[in-house]
Chains A and B, each alone.
Chain A
Amino acid sequence: MSVQITVNGTDHEVDLDPQTPLLWAIRDALGLKGTKFGCGVGSCGACTVEVDGMALRSCAIATGDVAGMAITTIEGMPQGGGLHPIQQAWIDEQVPQCGYCQPGMIMAVSAMLKETPEPSDAQISEQITNVCRCGTYPRIRKAIHRAAKAMSA
C-alpha cells in the first residue's frame, strides 16, 4: 500500500498502511526527525505539524487522511532555508531547555500566528496547549510576542 503526501512542498509516495499515524510517515518513512514522538495519543503536542496551515497533532491522524494536503514540518521552517522569525525569537529569548517539545511548539505557534497575528496573553494561554516538561512556558510566551512583532513589522 502506498500514500501520496506533500511535505514541505515536495510530493512523496510513501509505502505504508494508510492507517499509520502521520507522525511515523514523517519520521520513519521520510526520515524527517524534527517532528517528535511524545505520547502517541494526542496529549502533548510534541508531534505538531501544520496541515493546510492548521496545527495538527500528527500522532493522532492517519496518513491516508491527509493525502494531498500541504504538510509543513519544522524542517520546512522557513521554506528556502535560514531561520523563521519564530525560530529567531526562540533563540533571542533562549527558550529551549531540553528542546524536545520545541519543534511542536514552534509549529503550533506558526499556525496560531496565521489566524491571530497579534495574540494577547489570554489567547496564547488558550491556544498553545502543548506540553513542555522543562517548563519553558514563560519564555515561550515572550518569544511569541517577539515573533509576532517581528512578523508584523
Chain B
Amino acid sequence: MSAVKTDRRRFLAGAGLALAVMAGGRVAHASTSAAGSGKLSAYIEVQPDGRIAITTPAAEMGQGIASSLPKIIAEEMDADWSQVTIRLSGADKAFANSFGRQRSANSDGVTSYFEPLRKVGATARQMLVAAAAARFGVPVEQVDVAKSVLTDRASGRTLAFADVAADAAKLPVPDEVKLKAFSDFTLLGKDTPRKDIPPKVTGEAVYGMDVVLPGMLYAAIAHVPVAGGTLKSLDADAALAKPGVRKVVALDEAVAVVADTYWQAQQAVDAVTMDFEADVRLGTEAIRDKLRKGLDGEGKILPFPTGMEGREFIMGLSDAEFEEAFANAPRTMSADYEVPYLAHATMEPICATAQVDASACTIWAPMQSADTIPPEIGELLGLAPEKVTLHRTYLGGGFGRKNERDFVREAVLIARDVPGVPVMLVWSREQDMRHDYYRPACMVRTRAALSDDGAILAMHSRIAAQPLTVPSPYRLPQFGDGSIVGGLIPQVYAMEGRRMDTAEIDLPIRAGYWRSVSMSQNGFFAESAIDDIARELGRDPLEYRIALAKDDARSVSVLKRVGEMAGWDTPLDAGRGRGVALLEGWNTRCAQVVEASVTDGFVKVERVFCAFDCGLALEPDNVKAQVEGGIIFGLSAALFGQIEFVDGVVQESSFADYPVVSMASTPEITVDLIHSDAGVGGVGEAGVPPVAPALASAIFAATGTPVRRLPIIKSGFEVAV
C-alpha cells in the first residue's frame, strides 16, 4: 500500500502534466497535483515513458466516445496517437461540457465537448512548446511539434513531450490558444482503430457487472410487480433461511436480499413474498383508450411552439386559423398513427456497486449520468456532495436507461444497511425488462390542408402521451413536453402554416428517454404523414420530399444520394417495395431507403440504404458503425418491439418475449457519409428514427396497405425474429 503511495507521489511530482477545463472551455488550472489535494482531476497525463493518458469525460456505452474525445485533445496537442492510452471518468466538475454538464445523452458527446477539448489540447501543446523553447533557448515560434516530438527548427534538436512535461506543468496557463483549421487536422476525420475495442474482445474490459472489491457482497432485487405500486409488507423467512444470505432490505417499492454471491441473493429474493398497494392497474387496451380520448381533445391540451425568432416563441396557427385553412383547402389528408411502450433492454442488465458508511459513499457503476449523482445521492444519505464519489465503468449499452439514477439510489440504500461493505446490486433480466423507464406509447392525429400543386397550406399534429419531463426547471409549464412533441412537424419541409399540441395523459408508468427520444416516435409520425400526403397528391415519396425540403441543401443532398444508392427509379419485382424517410436533428441529416418484400403478409427487410451527413465525421468508420447499429435498433422496434401491460404488470421478461433483430433478421445495410462543412453533428441517435417510416412506406409500396401502427406485427403483418 505505502509503496503505491510513494510511487504515485513521485510520479505526480515528477512528470505529470495535468490540465482541467471548466465549463465553456476555459482552462482553469494546470498542475502536477503534487501540492494539490492529492486527487488528480485532469484530462492529460504525460507519463515518463512517453505514453499519454487522456481521460474521456463522457460515458463509453458503445458509441466510441472513449476514443473519439481523447482524439480531439490529441489532435490539437499534436500527440502521437499510438502512444495515447484512454481512461474513463467518474463525476468531476473538471469534466463539464460546453454547457456545464457532465452526462452522456442527446448525442452531444462530440458536439458539446468539441471546442472545450480542442482548447485543452491546444493549451497543452502551447505549454509544452514554451517549456521546450526554454530548454532550447529559442523563441517559441521556432519550435515545431509533430507526433509528441518538439523540434527546434534552426538546430534540428528534438525533445519528447515526456522530457518537458514536468517543466510545462509549472508554466502559467495561457489565456488564449490558437486552434487548428479543420484542413490541418491529421487525426480527426481519419479512421483510427477504437482504443476501447481490444479490451472488449479479450474480455478484459470492466463493465458495471465486473467490478471486484475486497469483501464485497451481492444484492438481488424484486420490485412490486405493478407499475406505480408500493410495498406494504413482506415475508422473508424462507429467504433468510437460504445459504449465503446476510440481510433482507425493504425499500419503498422493492425488496432486496444481500448475500455472499449474486446467485444466492437471486435465489433468496425469489423466495420472498410481498404485499403491495397499487391504486391503478391498467392494461394496454385501457391505456390506448386514454390516448385515443386525448386525441379527441379530452384531458390537458398544451400547445408547442413551431419555432423561435430571436428569443420569441412562434406558436404558429391558432385552432381557428387551422380549421379555416383545412375547411377551404382543395385537398386534405387526415390520419391517426400509433406506437407502443418500449424497453431499452441494454445488453448488460441494470447494476451498481456502492460502499456507504457514516461519512462517505463510493459508487462504481455503468452510468451515462455523472454530475447529478453526488448531489442526489448526498441528499439521499445526508452527506455533502463532496463525500460522494462516482467511478464509471464501461457500459454494456445505455440507450438512455443508464442516465436514470433509480438503481444507484437503490444500491446505496441497500449498502447503507451493511456499513463499510461494498455491495453490488444486480437486477435480473426480468426486473430490467419489467421496471424500466419506458419510451411511452403515443398516438398522433395529423391533418393537412393541401393545394392542388402539392403545397402544404397548413398542418396540425396532436400527440397524446404521458410526459417524460415534468415542468421546471427543464420545461416551461405553458407548453407541452418537448421530449414528447419535439420534431412532430419537421422544420426542413416547407409549409405555410403549422400547429402542434400535446394531449398530456396522466399514467403511473415510469417513462424515460430512449435512444433518439421524441424522434423515436416522431420520426415515424412525421414521415408517415408526409407519405400519406404524397399518396393523396399522387406524388413519388422521394421526389416529393426533395421538393418540400428544397430550402435545406443538406437534406436535399442526403435524399438525392440515398435515391442513387438504392436505385430508386429501377423497377422491383412484384411483392417488393421501397420506402424513404428523412431525419433532421442534432445538426445532422440522415436519409434512408428500405427495400422490403412481402409474401402472404410475411415481411422481410431485404436492404437498407443510408446517406448520412454529420458535418465533419471525426471517425468515419465508427460513424458508419453507429448508423448501422441505429438502423438495427430502430428496426427491432419497428418490427416487433412492444411492452404490454395486463393489470398494471409488464408482460415481457427477456429477449424471448421482447425480441430484437438477430443475425438472421439483419438486412444488408449500406451507409454512405456525405461530408459537409456544417461543423460537427450528433451521431448516436440520428440513425434510429428514419428506418420505421421507411419500412412502413416500403410495405405500402409492396402491398398497397398503409402501416400506421407500430410494431408492424400490430398492423396485420408477420415477421421472423
Question: A residues near B, CB below 8 A?
Answer: 16-17, 20-21, 24, 28-29, 31-41, 43-44, 46, 73-75, 77, 83, 87, 90-91, 94-103, 106, 124-126, 128-141
Chain A nearest CB: distance from B231 CB in Å?
24
A105 to B266, CA, bound (A): 26
Cβ B394 vs Cβ A135 within 8 A? no
- Among A35, A83, A91, A125, the residue within 8 A (CB) of B193 is A91
B interface, by DSSP: helix, strand, loop or mixed?
loop
Q: Which residues of B contact A32 (CB under 8 A)?
A: 203
Q: Which residues of A contact B660 (CB under 8 A)?
A: 131, 133
B85 adjacent to chain A (CB < 8 Å)? no
Cβ A100 vs Cβ B201 within 8 A? no
Chain A nearest CB: distance from B603 CB in Å?
17
B468 adjacent to chain A (CB < 8 Å)? no
Most buried by A among B209, B630, B655: B655
A132 to B630, CA, bound (A): 12
- Among A91, A99, A124, A134, the residue within 8 A (CB) of B394 is A99
A21 to B212, CA, bound (A): 20
Cβ A43 vs Cβ B656 within 8 A? yes
A-facing mask of B383-411, CB < 8 A → 1, else 0?
00000000000111111000000000000
Chain A nearest CB: distance from B236 CB in Å?
20
| Sample of 24 A–B contacts (CB below 8 Å) | A28-B263, A29-B261, A33-B210, A33-B212, A34-B204, A36-B348, A40-B429, A73-B203, A77-B202, A90-B197, A94-B622, A98-B60, A98-B61, A98-B396, A98-B398, A99-B62, A101-B347, A131-B655, A132-B347, A133-B347, A135-B628, A136-B628, A137-B632, A138-B668
- Among A28, A39, A94, the residue within 8 A (CB) of B654 is A39
Q: Which residues of B contact A83 (CB under 8 A)?
A: 201-202
A41 to B358, CA, bound (A): 39
Cβ B429 vs Cβ A106 within 8 A? no
Cβ A139 vs Cβ B628 within 8 A? yes
Contacts known (A41-B654, A91-B197); A97 close to B345, Cβ less than 8 A = no
Q: Which residues of A contact B61 (CB under 8 A)?
A: 98
B662 adjacent to chain A (CB < 8 Å)? yes
Cβ B426 vs Cβ A37 within 8 A? yes
A66 to B394, CA, bound (A): 31
- Among A34, A98, A133, A140, the residue within 8 A (CB) of B663 is A140
Q: Which residues of B contact A87 (CB under 8 A)?
A: 201-202
A interface, by DSSP: helix, strand, loop or mixed?
loop
Cβ B263 vs Cβ A24 within 8 A? yes
Q: Which residues of A contact B202 (CB under 8 A)?
A: 34, 74-75, 77, 83, 87
Contacts known (A98-B62, A132-B347); A137 close to B263, Cβ less than 8 A = no
Cβ A94 vs Cβ B397 within 8 A? no
Cβ B263 vs Cβ A20 within 8 A? yes
A-facing mask of B649-674, CB < 8 A → 1, else 0?
00000111000111110101100000
Cβ A137 vs Cβ B397 within 8 A? no
Chain B nearest CB: distance from A114 CB in Å?
18
Contacts known (A31-B212, A74-B203, A133-B347); A94 close to B194, Cβ less than 8 A = yes
Q: Which residues of B contact A103 (CB under 8 A)?
A: 201, 203
For A37, the closest partner residue in chain B by CB is B209
Cβ A134 vs Cβ B203 within 8 A? no
A28 to B397, CA, bound (A): 22
Chain A nearest CB: distance from B292 CB in Å?
32
A32 to B197, CA, bound (A): 19
Most buried by B among A16, A38, A98, A141: A98
A99 to B194, CA, bound (A): 12
- Among B205, B207, B262, B346, the residue within 8 A (CB) of A133 is B346
Chain A nearest CB: distance from B424 CB in Å?
10
For B662, the closest partner residue in chain A by CB is A129
A102 to B196, CA, bound (A): 13
Total contacting residues, chain B, CB less than 8 A? 62
Q: Which residues of A contact B218 (CB under 8 A)?
A: 28
Cβ A100 vs Cβ B661 within 8 A? no
Cβ A24 vs Cβ B396 within 8 A? no
For A38, the closest partner residue in chain B by CB is B347
Q: Which residues of B contact A16 (CB under 8 A)?
A: 261
For A24, the closest partner residue in chain B by CB is B263
Q: Which residues of A contact B261 (CB under 8 A)?
A: 16, 24, 28-29
A106 to B202, CA, bound (A): 9
A30 to B541, CA, bound (A): 58
A150 to B459, CA, bound (A): 57
Using A128-B663, A130-B663, A133-B397 as known contacts, list a sample of 4 further A-B pairs with CB atoms less than 8 Å apart, ordered by residue number in A.
A28-B218, A37-B426, A99-B200, A135-B630
A-facing mask of B609-648, CB < 8 A → 1, else 0?
0000000000001100110111111000000000000000
- Among A33, A34, A94, A97, the residue within 8 A (CB) of B63 is A97
Question: Could you tell me which residues of chain B, from 330 to 368, have a CB within 8 Å of some CB in chain A?
Answer: 345-349
Cβ A106 vs Cβ B662 within 8 A? no
B206 adjacent to chain A (CB < 8 Å)? yes
Contacts known (A24-B262, A125-B664, A126-B664); A99 close to B628, Cβ less than 8 A = no
- Among B62, B196, B262, the residue within 8 A (CB) of A28 is B262
Cβ B62 vs Cβ A129 within 8 A? no
Leading 7 A-B pairs by shortest Cβ distance: A34-B203, A135-B632, A100-B396, A99-B200, A98-B62, A97-B62, A74-B203
- Among A38, A75, A137, the residue within 8 A (CB) of B429 is A38
A87 to B205, CA, bound (A): 14
Question: Could you tell me which residues of chain B, from 435 to 462, have a CB within 8 Å of some CB in chain A?
Answer: none
B428 adjacent to chain A (CB < 8 Å)? yes
Cβ B203 vs Cβ A137 within 8 A? no
B139 adjacent to chain A (CB < 8 Å)? no
Contacts known (A37-B349, A94-B193, A131-B662); A100 close to B628, Cβ less than 8 A = no
For A133, the closest partner residue in chain B by CB is B347
- Among A37, A99, A130, the residue within 8 A (CB) of B196 is A99
- Among B203, B655, B662, the residue within 8 A (CB) of A33 is B203
Cβ A100 vs Cβ B207 within 8 A? yes
Cβ B197 vs Cβ A98 within 8 A? no
B198 adjacent to chain A (CB < 8 Å)? yes
A103 to B205, CA, bound (A): 10
A-facing mask of B249-267, CB < 8 A → 1, else 0?
0000000000001110010
